[in-house]
């Protein structure tokens, strides 16, 4: 495993590895790695002969400067974890200047996909994600790139970006990895106090319970019940809970409005903002 910091080093390294039809698997990250990331890298390593992880805290996707400053930067620990747990070949850990030698002024149009949920509450966030991911794709030129389904809306945006830019990369969404108590793994969990961390599993517990509630309740009352249940937890506040069509991400009013219903939530636990989601049904795949 090598760690490279510049675009030149990355390109030289990839030129030497990308031979004999070897495919390149890529996992973009912002570091502070956990087993959710590791599961993506493991999948990449199972399916490709050359594997790259990027670790870059992308300033253009932070609408809150405080969040950017507080974002954990743990390259040393991250590389030890990757070395121990995976067979990744290259870690690309560039500076801001390497990724953006000039300010990126591109504006993407994702239609209604980024007007809801995260897009509504974090204006400009997905434009920044599209800027950095398209730039990383341009440099790494992966055959396959892996993203976690925890960031459900991000995955939809990236698929749309790849379609719009006609990029020759396959996007794979991978299931959410959870702690034993159900809490979705996230770099932000590290910022929870001990007490908040003990209580944060209420989010997934409530989402799971809502799969039962849906059997006898309207979409609106399930949404209200989820919000009420979580807001009852002292110090926790739901920013949004939306039940949407899993492809268009537009809110549904009735369970019969879609054949793929997903509930997406953002919750403040103290000042830490966590997101999670649950699939109520996806009739195109299965009935879980």
> Which is the catalytic residue, given 5, 34, 37, 125?
37
Q: Which helix (H) or strand (E) holds 264?
A: strand 260-269
Nearer Cβ to ligand PAF (129/144):
129
Number of residues that bind ligand PAF (CB under 6 A): 10
The residue (of 13 and 155) whose beta carbon lies closer to ligand PAF is 155
**Contact flag: residue 274 with ligand PAF (CB under 6 A):** no
Please report where in the chains the tokens 């209420």 appear, as a residue: 202
Tokens at residue 211, please? Answer: 């799969």
Nearest one of 30, 18, 51 to 93, comparing CA atoms: 30
Q: Residue 82 or 133: which CB sits closer to ligand PAF? A: 133
Smallest gap from Cβ 127 to ligand PAF, in A, equals 12
Q: How far is CA 88 from CA 45, 53, 133, 171, 199, in A?
A: 7, 7, 19, 18, 35
Q: Binding segment for ligand PAF among 28-36, 42-50, 99-107, 176-184 (CB under 6 A)?
A: 28-36
Using the rule CB under 6 A, which residue among 44, 51, 61, 134 binds ligand PAF?
61
Nearer to ligand PAF, 155 or 209 (CB): 155
Q: 119 to 158, contacts with ligand PAF by CB under 6 A?
A: 129, 132-133, 151, 154
- Spatial strand order of the sheet with 2-4 comes to 2-4, 90-92, 50-55, 24-29, 144-148, 170-174
Per the CB < 8 A criterion, the answer to whether 184 and 274 are in contact is yes
Least distance CB 157 / ligand PAF (angstroms): 10
Smallest separation (angstroms) from ligand PAF to the CB of 168: 19
Q: Reply yes or no on whether 37 is catalytic.
A: yes
Half-sphere exposure of 102 (CA within 13 A, CB side): 3
Query: Nearest distance from residue 28's CB to ligand PAF, in Å?
Result: 4
> What does the block give as tokens for 264?
């997406």
- Tell me whether residue 287 is exposed, middle or buried, using C-beta atoms within 10 angstroms of its C-beta: 0 to 12, 13 to 18, 19 or more: exposed
Q: What is the separation of C-alpha 274 from the centre of its chain, rounded to a whole number of angstroms?
A: 12
Pair type for strands 260-269 and 236-245: antiparallel
The single residue among 24, 29, 146, 265 that binds ligand PAF, judged by CB under 6 A, is 29
Q: Considering the complex, what minimum distance in angstroms separates the CB of residue 49 from ligand PAF?
A: 23
Query: Please, which residue, 188 or 222, has the CB nearer to ligand PAF?
Result: 188
Shortest gap between Cβ of 142 and ligand PAF (angstroms)? 13
Among 4, 14, 26, 28, binds ligand PAF (CB under 6 A): 28
Among positions 24, 30, 202, 207, the unique one binding ligand PAF when judged by CB under 6 A:
30
Site for ligand PAF in 183-212 (CB under 6 A): none
In the block, tokens 């003990």 appear at 198
Residues 6 or more apart whose Cβ sits within 8 Å of residue 272: 188, 189, 191, 192, 196
Under DSSP, is residue 70 helix (H, G, I), strand (E, B) or coil?
A: helix
Q: Which residues bind ligand PAF (CB under 6 A)?
A: 28-30, 58, 61, 129, 132-133, 151, 154
Active site residues: 37
């Amino acid at each position: 495993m090598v760690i490279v910091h510049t675009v030149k080093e990355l390109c030289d390294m990839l030129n030497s590895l990308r031979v004999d039809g070897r495919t390149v698997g890529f996992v973009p990250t912002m570091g502070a790695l956990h087993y959710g990331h590791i599961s993506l890298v493991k999948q990449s390593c199972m399916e490709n002969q050359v594997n790259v992880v990027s670790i870059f805290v992308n300033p253009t996707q932070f609408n809150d400067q405080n969040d950017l400053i507080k974002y954990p930067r743990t390259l040393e620990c991250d590389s030890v974890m990757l070395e121990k747990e995976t067979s990744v070949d290259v870690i690309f850990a560039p500076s801001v200047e390497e990724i953006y030698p000039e300010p990126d002024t591109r504006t993407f149009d994702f239609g209604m996909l980024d007007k809801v949920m995260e897009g509504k509450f974090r204006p400009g966030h997905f434009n920044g994600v599209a800027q950095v991911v398209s730039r990383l794709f341009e440099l790494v030129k992966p055959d396959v790139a892996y993203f976690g389904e925890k960031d459900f809306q991000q995955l939809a945006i990236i698929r749309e970006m790849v379609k719009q830019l006609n990029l020759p990369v396959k996007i794979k969404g991978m299931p959410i990895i959870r702690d034993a108590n159900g809490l979705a793994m996230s770099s932000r969990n590290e910022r929870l106090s001990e007490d908040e961390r003990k209580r944060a599993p209420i989010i997934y517990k409530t989402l799971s319970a809502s799969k039962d509630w849906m059997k006898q309740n309207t979409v609106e009352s399930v949404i209200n019940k989820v919000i009420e249940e979580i807001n009852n937890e002292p110090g926790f506040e739901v920013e949004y809970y939306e039940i949407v069509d899993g492809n268009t991400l537009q809110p549904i009013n009735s369970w019969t409005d879609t054949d793929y219903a997903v509930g997406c939530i953002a919750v403040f636990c103290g000042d830490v903002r966590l997101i999670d989601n649950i699939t109520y049904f996806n009739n195109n795949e299965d009935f879980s």
